[in-house]
Amino acid sequence: MGGGRVDVVVIGGGPAGLTAGIYLGRFLRSVVVLDAGNSRARYIPASHNCPGFPHGIAGEELLERLREQAEEFGATLVRARADGLEQVAGGFEVAAGGTSWRASKVILATGLADRLPDEPWAEEAIACGALRLCAVCDAFEARDGRVALMGPAAGLAGHARFLRGYTAQLAAIPTDRNLELDEVDGMRALGVEVFAHGGTMGFDGRRCRWRAADGRVSAFDTVYPYLGYEGRNALVADWGLEAGEEGELKVDRYQQTARPGLYAIGDVVSGLNQISVAVGQAAIAATHAHNSLPFVPRT
Ligand SMILES: Cc1cc2nc3c(=O)[nH]c(=O)nc-3n(C[C@H](O)[C@H](O)[C@H](O)COP(=O)(O)OP(=O)(O)OC[C@H]3O[C@@H](n4cnc5c(N)ncnc54)[C@H](O)[C@@H]3O)c2cc1C
């Protein structure tokens, strides 16, 4: 699997990391992209808000195109999980399964891990759009359908407001407690049906079905679970870097963390977890990294 000295190691090969690989390759820098192969984008049945794809593109196909483009311009892609990151003289040492790379700069593009409903059918329901994880991404496709949002009671109102702009048939299902009376009033004023806490969600292969505690069953075209996520920042968890509540790393306007030479891009950073944000941050980080590496005149 190689190893050795390179200008930049990118950790994570989703849209953010692969875009950084494309830019650095085109800056004629040596770059290795390590990827554990678990991109959130692989869940996307078809994205319709990815610029340049008016008829949509599946997440897997987008990843394949980005990998091809990164390799085309000289990035080395390695399928491996980085299991060690250390600061050393002149840069960083990155380890993955017994191999290590020394790099002047490291770009963390490790993404985040969604908390999915703890159901064996969750991934199948995501694949057919019965379960959706990102209203900014695809509420447009769910518009005017029968939609449920489920999650902790305290967060439901804000999400309901966003989704109510897309459908008049919206239901809210609290996963931790019943809504208080004033919360119920707020939802009803918004035209949102409120369910009691304490039923179970099932999936019939096409649609999700909620069985309430009293036995009544309601079918939904789309369910949005809001169960949160965790930033995948384990490699730097004990580096004392500033992070938000869900582990998202804080960076400066060049995507650099408080450790010079260590950048972070994409969902591991962003509050707006979107492909277009991830690739924009990749362009910024890769350009700054390139400009701060030693100048190499062409011979
Ligand atoms: C169901 C669903 C639908 C979505 N739809 C859309 C949409 O329509 N439009 C849109 O803009 N966005 C959409 N998104 C969000 C989009 O997928 C993410 O914003 C995007 O994938 C973020 O890219 P990223 O590169 O930061 O992270 P990721 O794509 O998650 O990639 C991170 C990569 O890093 C790897 N990694 C993690 N740790 C390590 C390690 N230690 N060593 C090596 N590799 C590691 C992971 O395996 C993964 O491959 C959707 C997300 C989901 C879940």
- Tell me the pLDDT tens digit for each residue of 75-122: 999 999 999 999 999 999 999 989 999 999 999 999 999 999 999 999
pLDDT score for 270: 78
Mean pLDDT taken over the chain: 95
Range of the domain at 69: 4-113+228-292
Same domain for 232 and 263, yes or no, is: yes
Contact 197, 216 (CB under 8 A): no
CB of residue 43 inside a 6 A radius of ligand 1: yes
Same domain for 23 and 98, yes or no, is: yes
> Which residue carries 């060049």 as its tokens?
254
Q: Is residue 297 part of a domain?
A: no
- Quote the ligand 1 centre to 134 CA distance (angstroms): 12
Report DSSP letters for 106-125, one per residue: EEE---EEE---S-TTHHHH
Spatial separation of the C-alpha atoms in residues 201 and 162, rounded to whole Å? 22
Same domain for 185 and 232, yes or no, is: no
* Three-state SS annotation for 237-257: CCCCCCECCCCCECCCCCCEC
Q: Is residue 299 part of a domain?
A: no
Average pLDDT over residues 8-37: 98
Q: Is residue 258 part of a domain?
A: yes
- Tell me the pLDDT tens digit for each residue of 154-208: 999 999 999 999 999 999 999 999 999 999 999 999 999 999 999 999 999 999 9
Task: Report the share of the chain in percent with pLDDT over 90.
Answer: 92
**Three-class secondary structure of residue 225 per DSSP:** strand
The answer to which of 26-30, 35-39, 172-176, 270-274 has the lowest mean pLDDT is 270-274
How many domains, the chain?
2
Same domain for 277 and 249, yes or no, is: yes
> Which residue carries 């985040």 as its tokens?
112
CB of residue 113 inside a 6 A radius of ligand 1: no
Counting ligand 1 atoms within 8 A of each CB, the residue from 19, 39, 49, 83 with the most, and so the one to mutate, is: 39
Spatial separation of the C-alpha atoms in residues 124 and 114, rounded to whole Å? 15
* pTM tops 0.75, yes or no: yes
87: left (phi over 0), alpha (psi -120 to 50) or beta: beta
Beta-strand runs (E) in 195-247: 200-203, 208-211, 217-220, 222-225, 229-231
Average pLDDT over residues 20-42: 97
pLDDT score for 1: 64
pLDDT score for 231: 82
